[in-house]
């Protein structure tokens, strides 16, 4: 069985069943971590000033490597458009382009727009999500309880709007930070979710009474999302399906069953070389 170099490249890049494929994945993971670390270090002022040059070089090296990966992915797939406009294709493009753009807009390095653009590189972290195969079950449970969770969040928001408005009325004369209804709603969310920053906190006796009610409410209704997801998990656990790490050479679809021979999305064979 002879494989052409494109098929080989596809196997290395898109699958993790061969030694080369596994090595590629590990190298890619290290690169992603290094890349995220660079973006973080760049944002620490003291470090950026003392090691600016080093950071710049390292960033260029990583950018070039990700550029190579991007083109390799496009070349090795039979229908490049499917990849380019897929979620990961867009992430790959958006997180690689900023460094190149920075060459053209050197004069205005401090612009907020550019800063935002450069932060796009942090989205490379989403490439890690490719490796969370095991989370399929977890995501399924969340998806199954989507409607219930939506209703629950709507309920929370209605509750916080009412509670925030009441607190705005009660505490408005005080120096406690309830200066407008949106801020008061922000406080209600901070309190109901039991986060409790303390940047806004009631000073009056009545305000503290209402706050106590909000807290006990929040402490009690946390049971609701937990109950929803736990119930969903209980039913979910019974129907596990084994998935492999292969992806289709035609359409880049992932999540094939362990014993699948054809892509569930486009119907092409998953082992084209064997049928030659």
Question: At its nearest, how many Å lie between its own copies and the CB of residue 220?
Answer: 5
Question: At its nearest, how many Å lie between its own copies and the CB of residue 258?
Answer: 17
Q: Contact with its own copies (CB under 8 A): which of 67, 86, 208, 269?
A: 208
Count how many Cα atoms sit within 13 Å of the Cα of residue 97 in the half-sphere of its side chain: 10
Query: Which of these, 19, 29, 39, lies nearest to 66 by C-alpha position?
Result: 29
Residue with tokens 């942090």: 122
> What string of DSSP letters covers 189-206?
HHHHTT----SS---SHH
Q: Contact with its own copies (CB under 8 A): which of 182, 206, 262, 271?
A: 182
Question: With respect to its own copies, which residue has the nearer C-beta, 70 or 168?
Answer: 168
Question: At its nearest, how many Å lie between its own copies and the CB of residue 252?
Answer: 21
Query: Which of these, 200, 202, 203, lies nearest to 186 by C-alpha position?
Result: 200
204 sits near its own copies (criterion: CB under 8 A):
no
Query: Which of these, 69, 14, 17, lies nearest to 252 by C-alpha position?
Result: 14
Burial class (CB in 10 A: 0-12, 13-18, 19+), 66: buried
Query: Which of these, 73, 86, 60, 78, lies nearest to 28 by C-alpha position?
Result: 73
Q: Contact with its own copies (CB under 8 A): which of 23, 138, 241, 258?
A: 138
177 sits near its own copies (criterion: CB under 8 A):
no
The span of 2-10, 77-85, 97-105, 179-187 binding its own copies (CB under 8 A) equals 179-187
The span of 92-100, 114-122, 243-251, 262-270 binding its own copies (CB under 8 A) equals 114-122
The span of 19-27, 58-66, 79-87, 202-210 binding its own copies (CB under 8 A) equals 202-210
Q: Contact with its own copies (CB under 8 A): which of 30, 61, 162, 241?
A: 162
Other Cβ atoms closer than 10 A to 248: 26
Q: Contact with its own copies (CB under 8 A): which of 7, 114, 233, 253?
A: 233
Question: At its nearest, how many Å lie between its own copies and the CB of residue 34?
Answer: 14
Q: CA 60, CA 185: separation in Å to the nearest integer?
A: 45
Query: Which of these, 258, 255, 264, lies nearest to 132 by C-alpha position?
Result: 255
Quick check: helix, strand or coil at residue 262? strand
234 sits near its own copies (criterion: CB under 8 A):
yes
Q: Contact with its own copies (CB under 8 A): which of 68, 90, 230, 271?
A: 230
Query: Which of these, 192, 209, 211, lies nearest to 201 by C-alpha position?
Result: 211
146 sits near its own copies (criterion: CB under 8 A):
no
Q: Contact with its own copies (CB under 8 A): which of 61, 81, 90, 227?
A: 227
- C-alpha pair distances (Å), 99 with each of 34, 68, 90, 126, 135: 15, 14, 16, 18, 32
Name residues contacting its own copies, limited to 27-46 (CB under 8 A): 36, 39-40, 43-45
Q: Contact with its own copies (CB under 8 A): which of 211, 248, 251, 252?
A: 211
What is the total count of residues that contact its own copies (CB under 8 A)?
83
Name residues contacting its own copies, limited to 43-102 (CB under 8 A): 43-45
């Amino acid at each position: 069985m002879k494989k052409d170099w494109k098929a080989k490249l596809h196997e290395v890049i898109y699958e993790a069943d061969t030694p080369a494929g596994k090595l590629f994945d590990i190298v890619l993971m290290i690169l992603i971590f290094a890349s995220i670390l660079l973006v973080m270090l760049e944002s620490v002022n003291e470090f950026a000033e003392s090691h600016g040059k080093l950071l710049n070089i390292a960033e260029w090296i990583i950018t070039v490597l990700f550029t190579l990966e991007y083109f390799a992915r496009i070349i090795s797939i039979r229908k490049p458009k499917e990849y380019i406009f897929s979620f990961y294709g867009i992430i790959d493009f958006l997180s690689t382009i900023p460094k190149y753009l920075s060459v053209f807009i050197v004069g205005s390095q401090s612009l907020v727009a550019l800063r935002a653009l450069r932060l796009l590189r942090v989205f490379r972290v989403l490439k890690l999500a490719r490796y969370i195969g095991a989370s399929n079950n977890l995501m399924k449970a969340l998806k199954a309880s989507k409607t219930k969770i939506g209703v629950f969040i709507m309920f929370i928001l209605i509750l916080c709007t009412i509670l925030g408005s009441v607190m705005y009325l009660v505490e408005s004369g005080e120096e406690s930070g309830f200066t407008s209804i949106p801020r008061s709603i922000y406080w209600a969310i901070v309190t109901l979710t039991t986060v409790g920053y303390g940047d806004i906190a009631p000073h009056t006796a009545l305000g503290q009474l209402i706050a106590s009610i909000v807290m006990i409410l929040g402490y009690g209704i946390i049971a609701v999302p937990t109950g929803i997801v736990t119930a969903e998990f209980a039913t979910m656990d019974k129907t596990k399906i084994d998935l492999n790490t292969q992806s289709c050479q035609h359409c880049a679809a992932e999540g094939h069953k362990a014993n699948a021979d054809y892509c569930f999305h486009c119907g092409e064979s998953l082992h084209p070389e064997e049928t030659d």
